[in-house]
């Protein structure tokens, strides 16, 4: 297939590299061109304009947020220039309402739109072990399934309505940030009782809370190691804003999300927004001065 890929952050680079392993023709675009270099060395072709990346059978996008995607695809007028047959797979975590808008705008152009946000950190993406939450036209998902198999361990199909995938991803992200917040608070509790937070993490990640969230983020909290960031606190704040917006849309109250949002804003206000989400542990420390 001819594949386009837009957005080459840590996740995007890892995913694009795995698509190349399928020996497909890959065109890559990023706002900062230097991010394309490593993929060019692997066989991709760098393009200077997003429209060139859309000269393809399938285009993957993983842009930073709703604003970036809207700027590249809608405000530029690019979407109105595109023609079928074309499948656009959006891997980013975006607002539920924006996903609905994109699905309708693509449909009006005769283009298949698939929402496919992914679960996993950059190391998981590099190992092609992502979980892919996919929703959109079934036939289009069937077409790109071999590509999903190159980048992930499992594709979770969530129906024809594209925004369903984004709602599910936001729910999983809420559970993730809640777990990190809980670990942060528990770490302060045990350290104030003369225990090591690393011992707490070792205990729970090998007993009642096995899995990558507690072992991975827990290790960062135990070691107070927040850089380099795999998932930046500022992006966590963006996601919690999307979670609260999705909840408001269906009149659901999420007081825990409100509290976590305030704590993430505290991290950003203290110049820690570019650090890993695990920096919530520092917020917990500030909230509980010795």
pLDDT of residue 290: 79
- The C-alpha atoms of residue 157 and residue 171 are separated, in whole angstroms, by 16
pLDDT of residue 55: 95
pTM above 0.85, yes or no: yes
Q: What is the pLDDT of residues 49-100, one digit of tens each?
A: 999 999 999 999 999 899 999 999 999 999 999 999 999 999 999 999 999 9
DSSP result, 252-287: ---HHHHHHHHHHHHHHHTT-TTSBGGGHHHHHHHH
**pLDDT band at residue 276 using 50, 70 and 90 as cut-offs:** very high
Residue 227 has pLDDT above 90, yes or no: yes
Residues 6+ apart with CB under 8 A from 285: 188
Residue 18 has pLDDT above 90, yes or no: yes
CA nearest to 143, candidates 131, 153, 155, 126: 155
Residue 43 has pLDDT above 90, yes or no: yes
Q: What is the pLDDT of residues 160-177, one digit of tens each?
A: 999 999 999 999 999 999
- The C-alpha atoms of residue 243 and residue 173 are separated, in whole angstroms, by 8
Q: Given the residues 83, 107, 169, 238, select the one marked as catalytic.
A: 169
Query: Using CB atoms within 10 A of its CB, is residue 22 exposed (0-12), middle (13-18) or buried (19+)?
Result: middle
pLDDT, average across residues 266-274: 98
**pLDDT band at residue 153 using 50, 70 and 90 as cut-offs:** very high
pLDDT of residue 278: 97
**pLDDT band at residue 205 using 50, 70 and 90 as cut-offs:** very high
Evaluated on CA atoms 132, 76, 5, 9, the torsion sign reads: negative
pLDDT, average across residues 106-117: 98
- The C-alpha atoms of residue 242 and residue 248 are separated, in whole angstroms, by 10
What average pLDDT does the structure give for the chain? 97
pLDDT of residue 9: 93
pLDDT of residue 100: 98
Q: How far is CA 29 from the centre of its chain?
A: 18
238 is catalytic: no
Q: What is the pLDDT of residues 184-200, one digit of tens each?
A: 999 999 999 999 999 99
């Amino acid at each position: 297939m001819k594949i386009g890929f837009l957005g080459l952050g840590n996740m995007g680079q890892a995913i694009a590299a795995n698509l190349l392993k399928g020996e497909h023709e890959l065109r890559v675009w990023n706002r900062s061109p230097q991010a394309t270099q490593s993929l060019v060395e692997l066989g991709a072709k760098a393009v200077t304009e997003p429209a060139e990346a859309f000269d393809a059978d399938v285009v993957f996008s993983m842009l930073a947020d709703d604003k970036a995607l809207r700027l590249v695809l809608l405000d530029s007028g690019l979407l109105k220039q595109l023609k079928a047959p074309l499948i656009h797979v959006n891997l980013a975590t975006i607002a539920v309402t924006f996903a609905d808008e994109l699905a309708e705008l693509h449909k009006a152009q005769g283009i298949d739109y698939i929402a496919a946000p992914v679960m996993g950190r950059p190391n998981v993406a590099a190992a092609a072990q992502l979980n892919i939450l996919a929703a959109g036209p079934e036939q289009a998902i069937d077409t790109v399934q071999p590509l999903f198999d190159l980048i992930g361990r499992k594709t979770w199909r969530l129906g024809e309505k594209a925004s369903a995938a984004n709602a599910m991803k936001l729910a999983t992200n809420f559970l993730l940030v809640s777990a990190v917040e809980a670990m942060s608070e528990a770490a302060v509790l045990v350290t104030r009782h003369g225990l090591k937070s690393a011992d707490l993490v070792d205990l729970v990640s090998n007993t009642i809370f096995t899995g990558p969230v507690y072992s991975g983020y827990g290790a960062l909290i135990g070691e107070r190691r927040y850089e380099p960031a795999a998932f930046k606190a500022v992006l966590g704040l963006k996601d919690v804003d999307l979670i609260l917006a999705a909840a408001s849309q269906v009149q659901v109250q999420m007081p825990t999300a409100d509290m976590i949002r305030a704590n993430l804003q505290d991290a950003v206000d203290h110049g820690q927004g570019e650090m890993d989400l695990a920096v919530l542990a520092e917020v917990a420390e500030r909230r509980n001065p010795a």
